[in-house]
Amino acid sequence: RCESLVEVYFQLHQQVMAASAELGAELLPRLLERVSGVLSSLVKSSFLVEKQPPQVLKTQTKFQASVRFLMGPQLLKASAKPYMVRADMVTEKQARELALSAYSNVLSESTGEIMHNVVALETNPTSGTCCANFKNVLLKKIKRCERKGSESVTEEKCAVLFSTTVTLTPSNFSVHLQVLSLPIVVIVHGNQDNNAKATVLWDNAFSEIDRVPFVVAERVPWEKMCDTLNLKFMAEVQTTKGLLKEHYFFLAQKIFNDHSASLEDFQSRSVSWAQFNKEILPGRGFTFWQWFDGVLDLTKRCLKSYWSDRLIIGFISKQYVCKLLSMEPDGTFLLRFSDSEIGGVTIAHVIRGKDGSSQVENIQPFSAKDLSIRSLGDRIRDLGQLRNLYPNIPKDQAFGSHYNKEQTGKD
C-alpha cells in the first residue's frame, strides 16, 4: 500500500538526518533531494480523478466530477484546515505541455470559464477516503483554439485539470498535485452532440495508454472497429445480443463503399477517421457514424426487446433482402434498418403474383416517433399481408409476446 511506502520514506528521512554529520555537507543535500524526489513522485501518482466529467460537455450545463487523494488520509491528518482543489479547462496543447513536463509546469491560463471550480479536499471519517467532490460545476464559456485544416469544433479535444498544493508533515515538504481528466469535447448546441460522441468514441477506443495527450491514430484495423461498434451497440442498447458476422459484412460494405469485396478481404483493411465521420456516404446527406448512431438511438428507445429476441436482422442491404425474399412464399418478411433515413426501421416483404412472379416491397421506414405512437409488434400485427418472419416463422409466433395485450383482447 502507498501509506506503508510513505512510512518507509519518513524512517529513511530520519536516518539520513541522524547520519548528517557522517554524510558531510556535500552528500547530505544530494541524498535528501533524491529521497524527496521519490516521495514527490509517489504522492503525485496517488492524486486521481475518481469520477470523470462528461466527455461530451455542453456549455451552460451543470456537471459533476470528483478527485481522490489516495495518501491524503495519512499525509494530511495533521493539517489545520482543508486544502482547496481547483478545476480549470485546458486545451490539447496545454495538456500535452503539462504531460511532457511530468506535470511540473503550472497552468498559466485557463481555456474556459468554470463556475464553482474550487472545492475542499476532505477526508471522510466513515470511508477513510480523501476526496474533493465537484457537485455543481458549470462551464460558462469556452475559448476555442486554432483548428488544423478541415478540423471542426467537434473534433477539438480539451480536458479538465484538477490541481492543488499540499504540505506534508512532519517534514513540511510542499508538493503541487495535478491530474487531467479524460479528453472532453465541448459543444454549445445539442445538434453537435452526435459528432462530438464520434470524436470521443474514436479516442476512447483507439488511443494508446501511455500516449502524449491526446494523440490517436488516424487509421485503425477494420477488425478493431468491428469490436468497437459491437461493444458500443451492446452498451447503448443494454443487450447481451451483439453484432454478428453478417452484420459486420454489411457495415464494411457501407463504410468502404465496396460491394464486390468478400468478408475476408475486409478483415485485412484499415478504416480512417474520415471514413468514420467526415466523408458523406454516397447518395446520402450523412456520415457512417451519424447513420449508425441513429440506429443505436432507435434500437435503444424502441427496439431493444425485438433485437434481443433476434427478430430484427437490421444490418442488411436492400439488394440482399431482395435476393433472400424473392424465392420465399407470399407474405414472408424481415426487418432492416433504413439506408436512406437516420434512425428508421423498415419492413421488407414479398408479394407473389398468380403467375408465380415475385416482387419485394419495402414499407416506409418507421421512426422512433412513429413507434412511440404504436409499437412495432402492433404495426406488424395490423398488416395482413405479413405472414411469416424470414425464413419461416409465423408472425404471431414470432411477435405474439410483443403485441399490446389490451388490443388483443378487443380483437
Within a 13 Å sphere around the CA of 352, how many CA atoms are in the beta-carbon half?
13
For the segment 178-207, what is each residue's pLDDT rounded down to a tens digit? 999 999 999 999 889 999 999 999 999 999
Can you read off the three cell numbers belonging to residue 22?
557522517
Q: How far apart are the C-alpha atoms of 402 and 393, rounded to whole Å? A: 15
Q: Which residue has the cell 414472408?
A: 332
For the domain covering 219-402, report its CATH number.
3.30.505.10
CATH match of 46-189 with 2.60.40.630: yes
Helix (H) or strand (E) holding 163: strand 158-168
The tens-digit pLDDT sequence of the chain (411 residues) is 666 666 776 777 667 667 776 766 677 777 777 777 777 788 888 899 999 999 999 999 999 999 999 888 777 776 768 889 999 999 998 899 888 876 667 776 777 889 999 999 988 878 888 899 999 899 998 887 766 666 788 999 999 999 999 887 656 778 889 999 999 999 999 889 999 999 999 999 999 988 889 999 999 999 999 999 999 999 999 999 999 999 999 999 999 999 888 888 999 999 999 999 999 999 999 999 999 999 999 999 999 999 999 999 999 999 999 999 988 999 999 999 999 899 999 999 999 888 878 899 999 999 999 999 999 999 999 999 999 999 999 999 999 999 987 654 444
How many residues belong to the chain?
Answer: 411
pTM, to two decimals: 0.85
Beta bridge partners of 29: none
For the segment 215-237, what is each residue's pLDDT rounded down to a tens digit? 999 999 999 999 999 999 999 99
Beta bridge partners of 358: 352
Can you say whether residue 348 is alpha, beta or left, with left for phi > 0 and alpha for psi between -120 and 50 degrees?
beta
**DSSP letter string, 84-140:** EEEEEEEEHHHHHHHHHTTT-S-----SEEEET-EEEEEE-TTT--EEEEEEEEEEE
Q: How far apart are the C-alpha atoms of 141 and 60, rounded to whole Å? A: 7
Spatial neighbors of 232 by CB under 8 A, at least 6 apart, are 201, 296
Q: Where are the domains of the chain?
A: 1-38, 46-189, 219-402
Task: Give the N- to C-terminal CA distance of the chain in Å, as an integer.
Answer: 68
Residue 411 has a pLDDT of: 47
Spatial neighbors of 347 by CB under 8 A, at least 6 apart, are 333, 334, 335, 362, 363, 380, 383, 386
Provide the b/e sequence for 162-174 (b: ≥16 CB within 10 Å).
bbbebebeebebe
